Structure 1
Amino acid sequence: MSGASSAAGQSELRQLLSSWRAGRDVGKHFTALKHLPAQQAEYAPLPEGLDPRVGQLLRARGFQSLYSHQARAVEAALGGRHTVVVTPTASGKSLCYNLPVIDSLYRGHSALFLFPTKALSQDQSAELNQLLQLAPQRDPTWEAQVYDGDTAPDVRRRVRRNGRLVLTNPDMLHAAILPHHDKWARFFKGLKYIVVDELHTYRGVFGSHVANVLWRLRRICRHYGTDPVFLATSATIANPRELARELVGGEVELVDRSGAPRAERYVCFVNPPIVDAEKMRRQSPLRVAQRVAAQTLKRDCPTIVFARSRQSVEVMVNRLKRRLATDRDRPGLADRVASYRGGYLPELRRSIERGLRQGHVRGVVTTNALELGVDIGSLDVCVLAGYPGTIASTWQQIGRAGRSGGVSVAMVIAGDNPIDQFIIQNPDYFFGQSPEAARVDPRNLLIAVEHLKCACYELEWRAGESYGGLDPSETEEALEFMARTMGVIQRTGERWTWTSRTYPANQVSLRSTAEENFVVVDLGSRERNVLAEVDFESAHLTLYPNAVYQISGEPYRVVRLDYDERRAYVERSDDGYYTTAMHYAATHVLDVFKERQASRTSLGFGEVRVTQRFVGFKKIKFGTGENIGYGELNLPELDLHTMAYWLQLKADDFHDLGLGALAADQWVRLVEGAGEVLRTTASLKMMCDWRDLELCIGSVANDQWWSQGIGGTTVRDASGQEQDWEAGQIAPSLYEPHIYLYDRYPGGVGLGEGLYDEHERFMAMARDLVQRCPCQAGCPSCVGPPGEQGAPIKDAVARVLDALSKRA
């Protein structure tokens, strides 16, 4: 049974869509309904340079010709040109690289595939091996083999010895393959193609690291006498050729005109109704998504729901299953709904993927873990519970439905936050705007020097040889610095050689300041089964003592946390609530790169240390979302070294704007509202994911920081204690706070520099966002809801931002 809906399901979906278009049910809250008509395919003959046996393989698979973009990409690859293919989801991008790779096998070559996740490696190896089964005169050794952390030792040895088609990820290439390249000598001597799939995921600090890994890879290839061709694929982003050029270090041909057919699709924008008129709060997008998913699943329409956090996934799948379990007309339907996210064990994730492909699983609630191209069958409905953060990610998620050839529906449901509200209330901006650019900075010295160390370990360095994006003199200076301060290399004549006993690749994490992951152990099972694995940072928010941790909608309470051993012991919970951690950040400037005076403020951009402090947790009742209690939390602090933009707001500098009468709590609300608007505006201005930037507000002078407390916004000191809001109890320095916007990735990528350089334009854009909001006194969609006395914070924030936008 396939994952596609039945003919009856397609008919039901069209009827449901007609009902929504008529303004019934969720249709009452549509802000846009975009019809994307079906598109015919554009075909092209097989390139002449392709081995005839590859053409036989295609015909055996049922293909008589290629889509036009596939033919162009294959032709570029055969011509030895680095190529990046940017076409929609389900347009057959994998054939763009698999056909040249199979052609190269007939000529005695090998190929290396890089995928950002293990799941994609497994999925694509299965697809490639199916193709290879049809290859005429195939060599029995032709097999796509996965080499990652889950690969058994005996299989690893076999792959190193005989592998021709190796599928791995950047982390494994960095830490396990390049440092031991001599064991891969036969493979590197025949390497013809390097495939980089999902290129758009290599952005920010991760992308900067990966660029350095690829520079090291090309150096190893030159050592073995090869100069492989890079073949990349990407979702639609603003700068695919530029990004590919940064990553591969050479000119790249862009293939971005798709010849694939496209089924009919409707994209609906939904703004949930206001349920609290006083505070202008809207119904949760999770509740709306739950209702829509229940409707489509009952009508036999395979459905995927994207939620923005792991906890949201678990809360929603719990509610959805309960709702479906009460439907007597569709017994067992609740058992055909699954959740999918990071942290699940590989066996569980594979079984869910298999269930989706085979059609047993009819609905899935997921994070962006299923945004990438893992094969999950044909789905007809895609529901986004909250804006994903970027235009590129939104289209990528929308593209996960509509592969059956019939009509598909995608629904974007806005949350309260300002970025969601801006997008949902300005649909023309979304549909008319190009996707965001993916930024990397591989020449960042902090990153480049770490990889230069790895490169020295891999092969001795010749004097005068340049490294990656560094010129020979910069490279020589970095080598001398490493020899002088680290003592890990030494120069002998014209050679630099590695002298340390350390293994540098193990000390460099590509994705984060990696510590060991935490494992979740079930005390209720006789064998003490491991239920899940949680990354180090997320564990502080989900696995503290007495936390309720959810897996596939089932709640478990953390009975004991062994922090040193990275183990959380849990047991089934029937307490009827889940938990959310309360934490706040403190920021301290380490180095100032730029600073200047501007209208009514001082600005800065530089390196900072952000310290996360954990102070407690809330208990939230299932079903109602009611806050039913609190608990204390005592975990070690987490430090992040990154880059930030900042400005200082002094209350005395704004008295002429009529703000002098604001009470202490109203001034704090004004500053908090301004900060939230600036964070939203920054993500729009820099065209980055809203998760790439984080906000921190506080007083550097006495280490007091804005925080969300039990009763709402509060200020905490260095010990985590809340400050009293009574008159005269607030330190005067809180009337001169700093607002920091910092990169959420170690080392940072310098997003704040663009905000610093265009500060006045940035402030004006933020002012316009506030003024365009239809609320009267403030709401979650702009500066946050008004205070208890309904203080006119919105107007005050707009006036402050207007003053800041003036030229000094």
Structure 2
Amino acid sequence: MKKFLHRLLTQEWKSARVAHHAVLEAQDPQYGAPHAPLPKPLSQALHALGIRRLYKHQAAALDFLRSGHHVVVATPTASGKSLIYNMAVTEALLQNPHAHALYLFPIKALSRDQWEALNTFFEAVPSATPFTAAVYDGDTTSHQRAVIRRKPPHVLVSNPDMLHYALLPYHAKWESFFRGLRYVVVDELHTYRGIFGSHVAQILRRLQRITDLYGARPRYVFLSATIGNPGELAQKLIDQPVKTVTHSGSPQARRHFVFMESEGPLASLAARITQDAVRLGLKTIVFTQSRRMTELVHMSLLRAAPHLAHKVSSYRAGFLPSERRSIEQGLAEGRIAAVISTSALEMGIDVGGLDVCLLVGYPGTIMTTWQRGGRVGRSGGESAVIMLPQPDALDQYIVRHPETFLNGSCENAVTDPDNPAIVAEHLPCAAAEIPVRAEEAEAWAPSRQQALLSATNRGTLVQSEDGQKWFAVAPYPHRGVDIRSVGPSFTILAPDGQNKTRWIPIGTTDGVRAFKECHPGAVYLHRGRAFVVQSLDLVKRIARAVPQDAEYYTWVKSEKETEILEILASKPCTAFIARLGRLRVREHITGYEKKRLFTQELLDFTPLDLPEQVFETVGFWVEIEEAIVERIRRANLHYMGGIHAMEHAAISMFPLFALCDRNDIGGISIPLHPQLGKSAVFIYDGYPEGIGLAARGYDIVEALLERTLELIESCPCDEGCPGCIHSPKCGAGNTPLDKEAAMEVLRYLLGRKPLGAEETKGGLQQEEAQGFTRPEASAAKPEPAIGFLDLETQKLAQDVGGWDNKHLMRVSVAVLYDHRRKTIEVYREHEVSTLIDRLHALDLVVGFNIKNFDFQVLQAYTPKPLQHLPAFDMLEAVRQQLGFRLSLDHLSEKTLGRKKTADGIQAVQWFRENRWDLLIDYCQEDVLLTRDLFFHAIEKGYLIYEDRSGKRLRVPTPWNLEKILEEYGQKEDKKRTILRRHRPAGA
């Protein structure tokens, strides 16, 4: 290892250099002991396996399980997590030999690897009745399955797919197993995110229905790589509280982390480093970010060192099971010295001791990087992890800011267990297993109840005569639910080498990728060979490809548009409004480019005629005000190029906050969105109905834009490059892009550059009040719910670019006087949603300039259209009577003899000085003054004002409270009816 590191760090690389070298020192173990001693047979087994003491996290997790809790353990790779559940299950079996456990792993290779380890563990346990384990997956023969069903083993090792397709639908055949089920182990928890996680959440909920039926209460044990929210993710999957163990007590050998930069082809550099490591006897694993790069590195290595052909191999999803197992076995036995893999080998399959991990491209997340890097050094020896960044914004950001990775916390794993489309798919499965009961459905969340109604209306569920049960229409609806991918999968066929007229499968791809990777003319790489797709059959879901010496690769171009279906949430940020909502995305692939291998030189463009892809999802967006647009254009910058670049860079930075990659999210930037009437940048979940990423993005939108600006500003290029604003998946071919415009837009949005003062367009500034009296309310009838409202803001109009941008001014404090209750309610910004709910519950809202100011400020916080509220605006009513406006200050002084003592500028100053006592008192006085003026006008029929000559005159106020309530009540009923019939998009 020393010789290899010395060569790596000191030699002159032709087009690369070492940017940063970090040494992670060894860590000593931290031991612990469970509260109660282990049973003697279990202690003997541990000693027989060479385990004398437990690590701290192992003991803590075991104590939680013994106390009856569900547990998630999130510690680094090779920290002994599997021992935790093996000990707990063995202890349960020693107490009750008829007990059972279910082990779930996300991939078959890991299942068989852990099954072998479990058998070794069981063999070490002295017991009168030997404990048994069996693998039940897609590779288990029909005869073996029948044997296992007749006599279930103590531990059944399987995966979520088999649980969905084979165990739950036929639970009656597994009755003894489910009755005795004491533990459910869910390994590699971090993989159950996104669309896969949404499916698994439904499967585990269905499992709980089955165990409830048979009277079992199993404890769930989740194991995960280090992620930011293990407890939250585990709880989402089973909808129950889960105890969390995250502090690892396992030792860690010395590790080297080397960040490199390269200006040349990464595949060639990776091949050269791998060749050096193999030559020095170091077992090496190379992780890539794509199937294409996996094959390119393999091809480069074979060209540079053909004598290593039998010692190296590629490995990725899409390989046939027999190919994968042969490679795994060769690596474990030492016959293969290096393997080039996609993410398929990052999980805990035992492939023997590895020394060097080469990351060709940043894996996209801190968690995944540590997971892949944890594949080396497991035998206790010194190891090295080397990262070669791609010409990609996130990769370049990590190399320029290595502390973000080395010192940063792991990202959150995001999934949506309530995805309506996925819930609707699984409800017929659940009903086929056990009919859904009405009392059961009554306890469900509204979204799940809606999915039940939708499935019933679609005819996949049918209700009993008494309406108390739902049954599945199809006898086996499970086969129609693909829990791994979105849309139907496609099979890639190629001519058989032995028989050219016969086509054999060489791989698979999901429906989303098929249009982009298996279109006619696409280059498909497989095990170092290039295949060109001849045809794509959309009905039979088959792509036919022939081998060809293609010295190019292909990349599709597309056009997209986004329609807002519903706004779910809204909030004002520094100088913009962020919203979360349901979107309809349309994408049309227009053609593909051919680019030369290694140099990426554009060769030509070929049009394609493929059907448009349309799906509904969840997204968030940043609304950009016209004031910013004007400033960008006045600076002679390309505005569309600026927001397009901002979109690319923001998507690049998104994985710093959530476990995802570019394929999980999409984006579109629009200079004038027809529904919004302004510019906006959208980022959305790349799957139907959403998977929770957009909701996460909405929560951290300001932090995301901060990182986005940091990325662009720190890039040394002049006009933009793949390291900052170019996107490898841009359907528009990375045009137009304007780096300087992107930075300027972001600086305005984040308040780095103030929008500055704009000319006041005759708008009346928010009026403040002073002093108040409490007139006695006369009411012969039950009093209506009338509220008097006023609010103060955090910013002045000049801070947000003028009065047209009132929605950016943000609430500092709002006061509502409830006339019926005679109470004053004070709301700060974090309580605005509660205030808005209160306003919607009132019969009438009264204010001064309320429609043109207060509601404009509040609208930034809610998707509910405030213009439909029954509101009486005194300023508006006075202006209609006189033909001109009078201020609240003027009317209060002349009518009530009370002059205001401050103004809106002072209120903002108080907010900035944190003088909440003065600010709240001031706003309360304003509200009560508005109330007093309103009832004076109602009772007297006039207000007093003074003209320019000094004459005191009356403003007639023929306002009748009952008529006002009747008029606004009718308007509200009418508007609600219209909204129910025709809900406007984006409202």
Question: Do these two structures clear the TM 0.5 threshold for a shared fold by scoring above it?
Answer: yes
In the alignment, structure 1 residue 672 sits paired with structure 2 residue 644: yes
Q: 1:392 aligns with which of 367, 372, 377?
A: 367
For 1:475 and 1:87, locate their aligned partners in 2 and report how far apart those are by CA, in whole Å.
Answer: 33
For 1:762 and 1:123, locate their aligned partners in 2 and report how far apart those are by CA, in whole Å.
Answer: 40
Shift of 1:180: 1.8
Deviations 1:113-152 (A, max 9, x none): 1111222112212222233344434646x44322223332
Q: 1:351 to 1:223 in 2, by over 3 A?
A: same
Shift of 1:32: 2.2
For 2:31 and 2:700, locate their aligned partners in 1 and report how far apart those are by CA, in whole Å.
Answer: 46
Question: Which residue is equivalent to 1:723?
Answer: none
Question: Which residue is equivalent to 2:715?
Answer: 773
Structure with max Cα Rg? 2
Contact 1:604/1:645 (8 A) holds in 2:
yes
Aligned alpha-carbon RMSD (Å)? 3.4
Deviations 1:539-570 (A, max 9, x none): 32333333332221122333444443233333
Question: Which residue is equivalent to 1:804?
Answer: 749
Q: Which amino acid aligns with 1:65?
A: R
Comparing 566-575 with 258-267, greater Cα deviation is found at 566-575
Q: 1:160 to 1:52 in 2, by over 3 A?
A: same
Q: 1:773 to 1:574 in 2, by over 3 A?
A: closer
In the alignment, structure 1 residue 292 sits paired with structure 2 residue 267: no
For 1:103 and 1:320, locate their aligned partners in 2 and report how far apart those are by CA, in whole Å.
Answer: 49
In the alignment, structure 1 residue 353 sits paired with structure 2 residue 328: yes
In the alignment, structure 1 residue 243 sits paired with structure 2 residue 216: no
Q: Helix, strand or coil for the counterpart of 1:403? A: coil
Question: Which residue is equivalent to 2:804?
Answer: none
Question: Which residue is equivalent to 2:487?
Answer: 514
Deviations 1:172-200 (A, max 9, x none): 21233212211111110111110000111
Question: Which residue is equivalent to 1:3?
Answer: none
Question: Which residue is equivalent to 1:378?
Answer: 353
For 1:763 and 1:777, locate their aligned partners in 2 and report how far apart those are by CA, in whole Å.
Answer: 20
Q: 1:293 to 1:128 in 2, by over 3 A?
A: same
Question: Which residue is equivalent to 2:189?
Answer: 199
Q: 1:602 to 1:435 in 2, by over 3 A?
A: closer
Shift of 1:762: 4.7
Contact 1:304/1:379 (8 A) holds in 2:
yes
For 2:347 and 2:25, locate their aligned partners in 1 and report how far apart those are by CA, in whole Å.
Answer: 24
Question: Which residue is equivalent to 2:295?
Answer: 314
Shift of 1:501: 3.4
In the alignment, structure 1 residue 459 sits paired with structure 2 residue 404: no
Deviations 1:391-435 (A, max 9, x none): 111111111111232211001222222211221111122222110
Question: Which residue is equivalent to 2:18?
Answer: 30
For 2:387 and 2:51, locate their aligned partners in 1 and report how far apart those are by CA, in whole Å.
Answer: 35
- TM superposition score normalised by structure 1: 0.84
Q: Which amino acid aligns with 1:803?
A: Y
Shift of 1:28: 7.0
Q: 1:751 aligns with which of 688, 693, 698?
A: 693
Q: 2:76 aligns with which of 88, 91, 109?
A: 88
- TM superposition score normalised by structure 2: 0.69
Question: Which residue is equivalent to 2:498?
Answer: 525
Q: 1:57 aligns with which of 28, 38, 45?
A: 45
Q: 1:765 to 1:333 in 2, by over 3 A?
A: closer
Q: 1:129 to 1:637 in 2, by over 3 A?
A: farther
For 1:598 and 1:48, locate their aligned partners in 2 and report how far apart those are by CA, in whole Å.
Answer: 53
For 1:657 and 1:624, locate their aligned partners in 2 and report how far apart those are by CA, in whole Å.
Answer: 35
Deviations 1:62-112 (A, max 9, x none): 333333333333343344322222221112211111222233334221111
Q: 1:50 to 1:492 in 2, by over 3 A?
A: farther
Deviations 1:428-487 (A, max 9, x none): 22222110111233234444444344323222334333588x35x876666556545647
Q: 1:626 to 1:120 in 2, by over 3 A?
A: same
Matches within 5 A, 1:41-56: 41-44=29-32, 48=36, 50-56=38-44
Q: Helix, strand or coil for the counterpart of 1:529? A: strand
Q: Helix, strand or coil for the counterpart of 2:588? A: strand
Q: Which amino acid aligns with 1:519?
A: I
For 2:668 and 2:218, locate their aligned partners in 1 and report how far apart those are by CA, in whole Å.
Answer: 45
Shift of 1:49: 5.4
Question: Which residue is equivalent to 2:529?
Answer: 554
In the alignment, structure 1 residue 442 sits paired with structure 2 residue 417: yes
In the alignment, structure 1 residue 793 sits paired with structure 2 residue 793: no
Q: 1:342 to 1:638 in 2, by over 3 A?
A: farther
For 1:595 and 1:73, locate their aligned partners in 2 and report how far apart those are by CA, in whole Å.
Answer: 41
Q: 2:681 aligns with which of 708, 726, 739?
A: 739
Q: 1:543 to 1:256 in 2, by over 3 A?
A: same
Q: 2:666 aligns with which of 673, 690, 694?
A: 694
Question: Which residue is equivalent to 1:344?
Answer: 319
Question: Which residue is equivalent to 2:589?
Answer: 614
Q: Helix, strand or coil for the counterpart of 2:690? A: coil
Q: 1:640 aligns with which of 592, 615, 633?
A: 615
In the alignment, structure 1 residue 429 sits paired with structure 2 residue 404: yes
For 1:584 and 1:61, locate their aligned partners in 2 and report how far apart those are by CA, in whole Å.
Answer: 60
Unaligned 5+ segments in structure 2 are 752-799, 801-807, 809-987
Q: Helix, strand or coil for the counterpart of 1:464? A: helix
Contact 1:742/1:752 (8 A) holds in 2:
yes
Q: 1:258 aligns with which of 236, 244, 248?
A: 248
Contact 1:115/1:198 (8 A) holds in 2:
yes
Contact 1:50/1:78 (8 A) holds in 2:
no
Q: 1:409 aligns with which of 377, 381, 384?
A: 384
For 2:242 and 2:718, locate their aligned partners in 1 and report how far apart those are by CA, in whole Å.
Answer: 51
Shift of 1:496: 1.1
Q: Helix, strand or coil for the counterpart of 2:439? A: coil
Deviations 1:697-732 (A, max 9, x none): 4578799xxxxxxxxxxxxxxxxxxxxxxxxxxxxx
Shift of 1:309: 0.6
In the alignment, structure 1 residue 684 sits paired with structure 2 residue 656: yes
Matches within 5 A, 1:3-18: 13-18=1-6
Shift of 1:594: 4.1
Contact 2:486/2:510 (8 A) holds in 1:
no
Q: 1:147 aligns with which of 136, 151, 156?
A: 136
For 2:257 and 2:596, locate their aligned partners in 1 and report how far apart those are by CA, in whole Å.
Answer: 33
> What is the percent sequence identity of the aligned residues?
36
Q: 1:166 to 1:640 in 2, by over 3 A?
A: farther
Q: Which amino acid aligns with 2:143?
A: D
Question: Which residue is equivalent to 1:655?
Answer: 630
Q: Specify which structure has the bigger relative contact order, considering alpha-carbon pairs within 8 angstroms and separated by 6 or more residues.
A: 1
For 1:14 and 1:688, locate their aligned partners in 2 and report how far apart those are by CA, in whole Å.
Answer: 35
Deviations 1:8-67 (A, max 9, x none): xxxxx2123134444743897333221112223344568755443233333333333333
Shift of 1:296: 1.2
Q: Which amino acid aligns with 1:262?
A: Q
Q: 1:196 to 1:792 in 2, by over 3 A?
A: closer
In the alignment, structure 1 residue 301 sits paired with structure 2 residue 282: yes
Q: 1:584 to 1:150 in 2, by over 3 A?
A: farther
Question: Which residue is equivalent to 1:569?
Answer: 544
Q: 1:651 to 1:291 in 2, by over 3 A?
A: farther
Question: Which residue is equivalent to 1:368?
Answer: 343
For 1:654 and 1:794, locate their aligned partners in 2 and report how far apart those are by CA, in whole Å.
Answer: 15
For 1:762 and 1:94, locate their aligned partners in 2 and report how far apart those are by CA, in whole Å.
Answer: 36
Question: Which residue is equivalent to 1:712?
Answer: none
Comparing 146-155 with 759-768, greater Cα deviation is found at 759-768
For 2:622 and 2:147, locate their aligned partners in 1 and report how far apart those are by CA, in whole Å.
Answer: 57
Q: 1:773 to 1:46 in 2, by over 3 A?
A: same
For 1:137 and 1:598, locate their aligned partners in 2 and report how far apart those are by CA, in whole Å.
Answer: 64
Contact 1:49/1:78 (8 A) holds in 2:
no
Q: Helix, strand or coil for the counterpart of 2:723? A: coil
Question: Which residue is equivalent to 1:173?
Answer: 163
Q: Helix, strand or coil for the counterpart of 1:335? A: coil
For 1:366 and 1:480, locate their aligned partners in 2 and report how far apart those are by CA, in whole Å.
Answer: 45
